[in-house]
Chains A and B, each alone.
Chain A
Amino acid sequence: MKSRVVKIGVFFLLPFQVWANTIIVAPRTNVATLKQAVTLAKKGDTIVVKKGTYLSINTVIDKELTILGQDHPILDARFTEEVITITASNVKLDGFTVKNSKTGSMRDFAGIRLSNVEYVTISNNILINNFFGIYLSNCLHIQLLHNHITGSANIENSGNGIHLWKCKQVLIKENYVTRHRDGIYFEFAKKCLIEDNLSEKNIRYGLHFMFSDDDTYRHNTFKNNGSGVSVMYTRRIAMLDNTFIENWGSSIYGVLLKEITDARIEGNHFIRNTTGIYMENSDRITVTHNDFISNGWAMRVLASCNSDHFTQNNYKGNSFDVTTNGTLKEVYFNNNYWDKYDGYDLNKDGVGDIPYRPISLYAQIIEQNPQSVMLMRSFIVNLIDKVERAIPSITPESVKDDKPAMKPWKK
């Protein structure tokens, strides 16, 4: 009897949950803008926006709402303001085209701004020509999924594609970012996951960390960005299975590491970059199972780095495998495959019998005297490198791989 009462009770309660209102926004109807719909809506309602072009001069979403666009309706700020600002938690914004936020140096105008909110999902949107694309400040538990973000590629009027400031636990997945200043920018953002994104042709960095600890990025591709990817002043970052490709030019790096500690770099591909990894003041970094293929410098490890381990990586077709600017201490190479290794393996255990020294004499000479690059691949350079390998005298004694692999590592 009691359970029946409960059942009936539940039956009466249910409809209130299911019948949250749905408000339809369409051009030339009573509700012709998203702003009107938000004013009309109550907490928990759904707003469906039909196909069309809508003026959106900083539409503020201050209620818990699900806002869905059908066939990517266009929200246009006509360069006068931000397009959308979300100030309520538990909002979902899906399927819009958001474009033309104001640009200008005094304030960071954004296509979609999230400010002091939790549990918001921004998915399947197309952002075009905004100063900043998606801008998160002081947010928690946010999901940014399948967004396609294109900036103006104008050096003076480009902010970051996805910008995080003081955030925690944000998931950034399957987005595409191009033509912005930094594709994805993290400042004081902790415990975030960046997964399966493509960031290409951004003016500065594909991805940029500042003072952001305990983040993971994996399966992303960073291609042809102004200066590659930069990880600075952070702790405990995991960089897994990413591809860094074609980041070319002076002071341009696949990954730039500066003052970071306890990072893991595993399973990444560094292909055709000027410098694959550049490391400065970076301690306790483990670099394992990565491929360095056809880079100018596979790695530049400055003497300010300590306790770093490079294990089971493949170095193939790089002009220089490793270079440094002084005396490297506590930097360990072990069991890597080096295509320049010309030792032998008499006992056939797959490990070369004589150590490999990844820093060539010629690399040391270039370090002192950059102009000598014109002698590259000349007979005399080959000769001095061969002599130096046979009787090391100038290259650092401590930097060597005692167990070089005879065959490339496969995953």
Chain B
Amino acid sequence: MKTLRSTMLLLCCLLAACSHGTEPIQYGKDACSHCKMTIMDKRFAAELITAKGKLFKFDAAECMAGFLKENPGIAIDAKSMFLVNDFNQPGQFADARKSFFLRDSSFSSPMGGNLAAFVSRSSAESAKKDKSARIYNWASLLKQVNNEVEGR
């Protein structure tokens, strides 16, 4: 009986250890997995959890897209979780697949992508400042990043 109880306890501990979930970003401490910069800006940060539960943190959506360009296997895997910070609620994660991305030259996102994420198309529209600004969804954003050279 005693051994059973302790085995159960051990099992519970082990199960708890392999949680497949998000992890809050430690601003000012965590480094971006793609560009190595310390993550500072709550408006632009992003996070990625692979199907196996491996976690990557990014300082900007453009960095996550750049990382996926180099790791296309993770990008097409339906079990990967992509999270981006909502520009209107800094520090709050939103599902990248359902988000809208506004590329507007008035944003100075950390890696020069001028990119901000919004939970709805309407809030992205209302944040528009530049006439040439464009709105992408997740799939079209990845396509766009795959076609361009980083930064310049």
Contact = CB atoms under 8 A, between A and B. Distances in A.
Contacts of A226: 28, 38
A227 B111 CA distance: 17
Nearest to A233: B151
Interface string B37-49: 1101111000000
B28 A204 contact: yes
Contacts of B31: 227, 251
A256 interface: yes
Interface string A226-245: 11001011000000000000
A187 B108 contact: yes
Contact of A280 (B36, B37, B38, B43): B36
B152 A203 contact: no
A181 interface: yes
Contacts of B152: 211, 233
Contact of B40 (A108, A203, A256, A280): A203
A198 B27 CA distance: 25
Contact of B27 (A155, A187, A227, A280): A155
A79 interface: no
B72 interface: no
Contact of A155 (B35, B40, B150, B151): B40
Contact of B112 (A187, A204, A278, A280): A187
A179 to B, nearest CB: 13
B112 A251 contact: no
Interface residues of A, number: 23
Given A156-B27, A203-B28, A181 B40 contact: yes
Given A155-B28, A187-B112, A204-B28, A258 B36 contact: yes
A87 B28 CA distance: 33
A232 B31 CA distance: 15
Contact of A204 (B40, B108, B151): B40
Contacts of B151: 210-211, 233
Contact of A251 (B36, B40, B41): B36
Interface of A: 105, 108, 155-156, 165, 181, 187, 203-205, 210-211, 226-227, 230, 232-233, 251, 256, 258-259, 278, 280
Given A204-B37, A232-B37, 19 more contacts: A155-B27, A155-B28, A156-B42, A165-B108, A181-B40, A187-B112, A204-B28, A204-B40, A210-B111, A210-B151, A211-B112, A211-B151, A227-B38, A230-B37, A232-B35, A233-B152, A251-B36, A258-B35, A280-B36
List of 6 A-B pairs having minimum Cβ-Cβ separation, nearest first: A155-B28, A251-B31, A204-B38, A233-B151, A227-B38, A105-B90
10 contacts: A105-B43, A203-B28, A210-B111, A210-B112, A227-B31, A227-B38, A230-B36, A232-B37, A258-B36, A259-B150
